[in-house]
Each structure stands twice: as C-alpha cells, then as structure tokens.
Chains A and B, each alone.
Chain A
Amino acid sequence: MSVPVSRRAGVPARHAEPAAPGDISDAVRMRAFRQAINEALHEAMARDDRTFIMGEGVDDPKLIFGSTAGLKERFGPERVFDIPLSENGMTGVIIGAALAGMRPIMTHQRIDFTLYAMDQIANHAAKRCYASGGRQSVPITIRALVGCGWGQGPQHSQSLQSVFAHIPGLKVVMPSSAYDAKGLLISSIEDNNPVIFIEHRRLYEIEDDVPDGHYKVPLGRGVVKCEGKDVTVVAVSLMVFESIRARQALAEAGIDAEIVDPRTIKPLDVNLILESVRKTGRLVIVDTAWKTCGFSAEIAALAAEECFGALKAPIRRVTLPDVPTPTTSALEKIYYPGALDIARAACDVMGLGGKVPPAVEASIAGMTTPTAPQFFGPF
C-alpha cells in the first residue's frame, strides 16, 4: 500500500533535497515507514561513530516494531543497547554524553514515556545552548512513537508535539511518509540540537518510494503534498494520509483542496503555509492531537495574524476532542477524526454549511484507498 502521492509526483524538488546529485536512482524503491526509519539509523550510525542508540527494548525481539533491526548485529552492543526503566535519568545520560562530544539517539516505544523525562528534556537539553551563551550544544535525537488503536488508551496514545514545540531550544519533527521519515531522521541525527522525532505507529506499514543510501530532508521545510486552489488543508503525520483521502472525495463535489504538510512542527515552514492560504483563501487545520493550545491553534493564529485579509471564510480545525483517549473500541472509533471529518470541515469553509455532499460521503465510504492499517495486539 502506498500514499497516493509519490515522492516524484508530489514533492517539488526544492522540498526534497538529496545529499548529493546521483544519490537517488530513478528506479522506484518501495519501502515501509518502519524500514525507512531503520535505514536512516543504519546510515547515520555508519557515517558517524559518535552516534549510539539506546532505549527500552531497542534490541529485544520486537526491535521497536522492527525499526531497530540489524543495528546491534552491525554496530555492536556498545553502540546499540537496552536501558533501565529510568527515562529521566537516561535522558540526562544522553545529554551528558552529548556535552562530552557524542551524538546519541534515544528511542521510546510510546511518546507517553517521554513525560517521565520532561525535566531533562525541557529544563536541561532545551536550555543548554542558550544558557551557555551559545558555547555548548546538545545534539541528541529522541524518537517517540504515538500509539493509536487496539485500545492503546489514555497512557499509550498521546500526541504531544505541541507540548515540546512550546519550549524554545527543542526541534520537533513529525514525518507523514516513509520518504520524509528517512530524510528527516538523518537530518535530525546530524542536527546539533535536541530533536524530538515523533513517529505515528499507524504510518509504520505504509510504503513510499524511498531512495537507497544517505539523503536529507531539511528541518523547517514543509511540502505541498497535493496542489489545489479552493482550500488549504494543513495536516501533520497520520492526518496527512487522511487529508489526501478527503481531497480525493472532495473532488467529487468539485472542491480542489491543497494539502500542506509542515513535516517539522518546529521550526515551522511559515512561508509555505501562508503562501498556500493566500492562494486559496480558506484554511482547515488537521492535527493528531487535542484542540486546546495545540498545533492547530498555532496555525490558526498564524493565519489570523499574517494573512487575515486573504481569508474568505472562518478557519476550521479538525482535532481530537479535549478528552483522554478511551480504551474501548466503541469510543475509540468516534474519538479519532478521519477523512469524513476533514471533508466536512472543508465543505464548511467552502460555504456548504457543514453539509457534506452525498457524492463526497459516498466516495469516502467506498474508497479504494483504504485507511492507514490498524495494528493488532498485544502491543
């Protein structure tokens, strides 16, 4: 299964910069998101012996859902190792190692675990460069997975990008495709700052055209996934996938949506978003997280502040309701927004009064492009 827009068809060259011309062959090379993450780790580890990977379960039989496969065998147990369940202390360990010249990578099977480590992440890693007068840096990458579905529930499925993005000194990355995942993870590891790299678990099996070898997708540069003239849909992570499905359905009603994927929450590609909103005059923001004080609020404020005059309709947001994730599948089903909710918001800003034309609804119901694959238990 692949995202409908391939790297070559949907990504203008300026947004996807290979490390060097010739690194990317013309042959299509389909790889799952999980494999793209794994390839990025292999590339980064092979290039720089100051990198090492640690995290709970990085070398266990599940290998962080397959993303750390082959690393221990290739780079040895000193550079790829499991850790005690001490998220805060171990984050301090990677900060100290970074201050002493290393470039550590830490992995959390669930982003919820990073909250144990907020002291070291927010109070220490984020502050070190500034509080040292720019004399020090903390080149660490913290991978964190967002769970979703199969009853992951209140403590295994939070989407915390806004929490991290609020804090100066951190960078926050949130890829939506395998191609971006590999290029952005390599950029994150090679960046000289603390980067929170957020991977959505439901993207893991989705394939994309992923070049072999080393390439970088720059932090702070978004991408127009699909061009359109009527409404801008700014979406992140899994919601890019859902937005593309919504776009296909909206076409049935003659609505031409433009999908903008910021790819990094911080730094944010402000100009790309504003350019699109100025062009379409309408804005829908789709986030994987809650509404209040979230990423969607930030984008709405940005548009209101910077291009209010270009807006032809009020801004609409599609987010999680402001409640913890329920575990039961009965409530989980209605908790997560999808293509239909996005289509509804788009129809609303198009002046259709929140009514989704039957053709759009029928299109989503009978869609040949399935939803992102669910994962099954136990974990």
Chain B
Amino acid sequence: MDAVDAVTPDLKKNLYRTMLRIRRIEEKIAVLYPEQEMRCPTHLYIGQEAVAAGVCANLSKGDSVFGTYRAHGLYLSLGGDLNAMMAELYGKRTGCTRGKGGSMQLIAPDEGLLCTSALVGGTIPMAAGAGLAERLRRSDRVAVAVFGDGGTEEGVFHESLNFASLKKLPVVFVCENNFYAVYTHFSQRQCADNIYERAHAYAMPGVRVDGNDALEVYRAMREAVMRARRGAGPSLIECRTYRWLEHVGASSDVTRDPEELDEWIARCPVRTLQHRLVEEGLLSEEDIHRMKAEVDAEIVAAVRFAKESPFPAPEELEAGVYAP
C-alpha cells in the first residue's frame, strides 16, 4: 500500500480529531495561563497541529519520539494522558514528571515520548541513539526527532544527521520550521532557506512539505518511516508551518507583521482539514459539534484534576536525583 492509498477516511477523521483536541486544549491553557497558577514556561502549539498529528499517526507501540519544549501537540498525538499533562503544568505530584519537569520536559515513556527539552536541539542526537539501540536489537522500530528551525542551527543537528546516515539508522528527522526563534526571523539567522536540502549533504532523502497540511505531513512521514523500518536509513522532513502566539506564554507576538499572521491564520491547519472532510462528506456539522463537546468535557475534567491534585511533598525535593 503506498502513501496515498494509506490515507483512509478513518485516518483523516482521526487526524482531524487529534488536531482539534490539541487546538482546544492549547486554547484552554491560553485562557488559564494568566491566572498564574501554571507556574512554568509554557510554549503553545497553536497553528502547528498538523505536524505532530501527521507524524505520530505513522508510529506504533515501541517507536520512540524525542521533541522540544513545544511538545504538548506531540505528547497528545502520541496518546499521552491529558490529566498527567495538565497536572504537570500546574506543578502537581500527579503530573507526568511529578512536577519536576514542567511543560518543557513532558514525557510519556509508555506512549513513546522519551524526552523533550528546554534546550534547543538537545534531543536530536538522542533519537539517533534510540535508532542505534533498535539497530543493535535488530527490531523494526523507528526513532523520531522533532525539532524546530532553530534546532538546525545547533551543531548536534549536523552531527546527528551524519551519524544516523553513516550507520543507516532507523531515524526520521522532522523539522517544524515555524520561521521564528523567539522573535528572530529565520532570514536573520540562516544563510539560505534550504533546511530540507541539507539532508542531501548527509546522503539521505530530504523533503519539504506544507506543515499546515496534515495529509501531506502524513504521507511524507509514512514514506520516511517505511524506509527506516526496512533498514534503508534516515530521512529529513522539513514541515513549513507557523506559530500563532508569542514564543512562550499565551500572548500574541507584537513584533509580527499582521499581514503575515493573517495569511497563516487563513491557512489554519485544523480548519483546512475540517473543510476538506466536510466537502468529502466524511464529517458533518453534527460530528464537529460532538467532537468539540467531547474534547471540552475532557479538558474541564483534566483542569479540575490538575487543580485538585496535591503538590509534591517537601521530601520530594531531594528524591529522584539518582536512579536506584
């Protein structure tokens, strides 16, 4: 089955539901964030949902994923527990890292999210390492690194691509190019707009896709994952997308060109897929309302769970520095 055939009606609806769910969760966080109860730097994913959804829809149990501090979408797309994520944002003991890591260090090891990091590029080589582990175990699992355009400016990006290609490791490198590092535009940081082409320098396939089109992301990722699983080595996918809000927190970015922002909002990944599915008769207004209601109920419950959960006890301060 090739990538086009794999895009079944069920898959499309699942992608839509995943993206809608991320969007509404992020919007709720944006509303609650000013209450100052989520006391950790939180980087919202609004506008970029198609990347995480399209990437993760290709993964199976046992595959591993390494992400960035902007990882809510990745965590949720992989099936990470919403209660544990929300509790983590509130610094609670029931959080996915017991409040120790916060929004920037989300993990869901059972679902495959092995590491996210507050430090740009830091997890890229870890995906190569997980790929190496799968190679040594002779499994057919893959490892995925998701990073931003800023991540490609770090040395480890190049080191990781070289090593993964040298050893033909089962790794997929996914760049979410949202064009901004905090407030600084891509054009002020990189000499050429060619992230995907760097793959060729490291003797692997590199493609550029519309990162606001979940189906396009899905197809590119599917090909890369299949290539990795059959032992043919790594690939690089550049997904061009856009972050609607400020780098960190829930405010808008005052430095953005309003026209640029409007253009991207007009190409909203959630609404784009929604229109397509409605046109294709796969989704009714009633379905959409029902999905929204389900997600909203889940969010209300998760926020309540998080707010009502206990904080870590003082004795947890010194616990867990070292593994037993």
CB contacts (< 8 Å) of B66 on chain A: these are 96
- Other A-B pairs beyond A52-B136, A86-B156, 15, CB < 8 Å: A84-B163, A88-B159, A89-B155, A89-B159, A92-B159, A93-B126, A93-B163, A95-B115, A95-B129, A102-B136, A132-B101, A133-B96, A133-B99, A133-B101, A134-B323
CB contacts (< 8 Å) of A101 on chain B: these are 133, 137
Does B163 lie within 8 Å of A123, measured CB to CB?
no
| Residue among B132, B137, B155 with most chain A CB within 10 A | B132
| Residue among A92, A97, A104, A120 with most chain B CB within 10 A | A92
Binding site for B on A (CB under 8 A): 52, 78-79, 83-84, 86, 88-102, 104, 119-120, 123-124, 128-137, 139, 168-169, 171, 192-193
Q: How far is the CB of B288 from chain A (nearest CB, A)?
A: 36
Residue of A nearest to B108 (CB): A135
Does B320 lie within 8 Å of A97, measured CB to CB?
no
Does A92 lie within 8 Å of B100, measured CB to CB?
no
In angstroms, Cα B125 to Cα A96, docked, is 7
- The answer to the question of B324 belonging to the interface, with a C-beta cut-off of 8 Å to chain A, is yes
Does B100 lie within 8 Å of A131, measured CB to CB?
yes
CB contacts (< 8 Å) of B53 on chain A: these are none
Give a binary string over B126-154; 1 marks a CB under 8 Å from any A CB, 0 the rest: 11111111111100000100000000000
Does A98 lie within 8 Å of B129, measured CB to CB?
yes
In the complex, number of A-B residue pairs with CB atoms less than 8 Å apart: 158
Pick out which of these stretches binds chain A: B116-124, B267-275, B291-299: B116-124
List 5 A-B pairs, minimum CB-CB distance, nearest first.
A96-B129, A92-B125, A89-B159, A96-B126, A133-B98
CB contacts (< 8 Å) of A104 on chain B: these are 129
Does A193 lie within 8 Å of B98, measured CB to CB?
no
| Listed A/B pairs (21) with beta-carbon separation below 8 Å | A79-B136, A84-B159, A88-B159, A89-B159, A90-B159, A91-B125, A95-B115, A96-B133, A100-B130, A100-B134, A101-B137, A119-B122, A124-B119, A129-B321, A130-B320, A131-B97, A132-B101, A133-B97, A133-B98, A133-B99, A135-B107
Q: Which residues, 75 to 107 on B, are CB-close (under 8 Å) to A?
A: 95-101, 105, 107
Does A123 lie within 8 Å of B125, measured CB to CB?
no
CB contacts (< 8 Å) of B123 on chain A: these are 92, 96, 124
CB contacts (< 8 Å) of B136 on chain A: these are 52, 78-79, 97, 102
CB contacts (< 8 Å) of A89 on chain B: these are 124-125, 128, 155-156, 158-160, 162-163
Residue of B nearest to A49 (CB): B136
In angstroms, Cα B128 to Cα A94, docked, is 9
- The answer to the question of B191 belonging to the interface, with a C-beta cut-off of 8 Å to chain A, is no
Q: Which residues, 305 to 324 on B, are CB-close (under 8 Å) to A?
A: 319-324
- The answer to the question of B114 belonging to the interface, with a C-beta cut-off of 8 Å to chain A, is yes
Q: How far is the CB of B44 from chain A (nearest CB, A)?
A: 21
Does A99 lie within 8 Å of B155, measured CB to CB?
no
Given the known interface contacts A132-B97, A132-B100, A132-B105, the answer about A86 and B159 at a Cβ–Cβ threshold of 8 Å is yes
In angstroms, Cα B104 to Cα A124, docked, is 13
- The answer to the question of B42 belonging to the interface, with a C-beta cut-off of 8 Å to chain A, is no
CB contacts (< 8 Å) of B156 on chain A: these are 86, 88-89, 92, 119-120
In angstroms, Cα B98 to Cα A135, docked, is 9
CB contacts (< 8 Å) of A119 on chain B: these are 119, 122, 156
Q: How far is the CB of B272 from chain A (nearest CB, A)?
A: 34
Q: Which residues, 160 to 176 on B, are CB-close (under 8 Å) to A?
A: 160, 162-163, 166
Q: How far is the CB of B207 from chain A (nearest CB, A)?
A: 23
Q: How far is the CB of A242 from chain B (nearest CB, A)?
A: 32
Contact pick for A96, options B95, B96, B105, B143, CB 8 Å: B143
In angstroms, Cα B323 to Cα A168, docked, is 12
In angstroms, Cα B163 to Cα A136, docked, is 25
In angstroms, Cα B114 to Cα A94, docked, is 14
Residue of B nearest to A99 (CB): B114
Q: How far is the CB of A188 from chain B (nearest CB, A)?
A: 13
Q: How far is the CB of A270 from chain B (nearest CB, A)?
A: 16
Contact pick for A88, options B115, B155, B322, CB 8 Å: B155
In angstroms, Cα B163 to Cα A98, docked, is 17
Given the known interface contacts A93-B129, A98-B129, the answer about A134 and B122 at a Cβ–Cβ threshold of 8 Å is no
CB contacts (< 8 Å) of B323 on chain A: these are 129, 134, 137, 139, 192-193
Residue of B nearest to A123 (CB): B119
In angstroms, Cα B105 to Cα A123, docked, is 12
CB contacts (< 8 Å) of A100 on chain B: these are 64, 114, 129-130, 133-134, 143
Does A90 lie within 8 Å of B163, measured CB to CB?
yes
Contact pick for B160, options A92, A130, A132, A139, CB 8 Å: A92
CB contacts (< 8 Å) of B9 on chain A: these are none
CB contacts (< 8 Å) of B137 on chain A: these are 101
CB contacts (< 8 Å) of B128 on chain A: these are 89, 92-93, 96
In angstroms, Cα B6 to Cα A214, docked, is 53
In angstroms, Cα B320 to Cα A129, docked, is 6
In angstroms, Cα B133 to Cα A287, docked, is 38
- The answer to the question of B34 belonging to the interface, with a C-beta cut-off of 8 Å to chain A, is no
Q: How far is the CB of B240 from chain A (nearest CB, A)?
A: 25
In angstroms, Cα B324 to Cα A193, docked, is 8
Q: How far is the CB of A161 from chain B (nearest CB, A)?
A: 18
CB contacts (< 8 Å) of B115 on chain A: these are 95-96, 99, 124, 128, 136
In angstroms, Cα B121 to Cα A124, docked, is 11
Does A193 lie within 8 Å of B160, measured CB to CB?
no
Given the known interface contacts A89-B160, A92-B124, the answer about A133 and B129 at a Cβ–Cβ threshold of 8 Å is no
| Residue among A123, A128, A133, A135 with most chain B CB within 10 A | A133
Does A133 lie within 8 Å of B159, measured CB to CB?
no
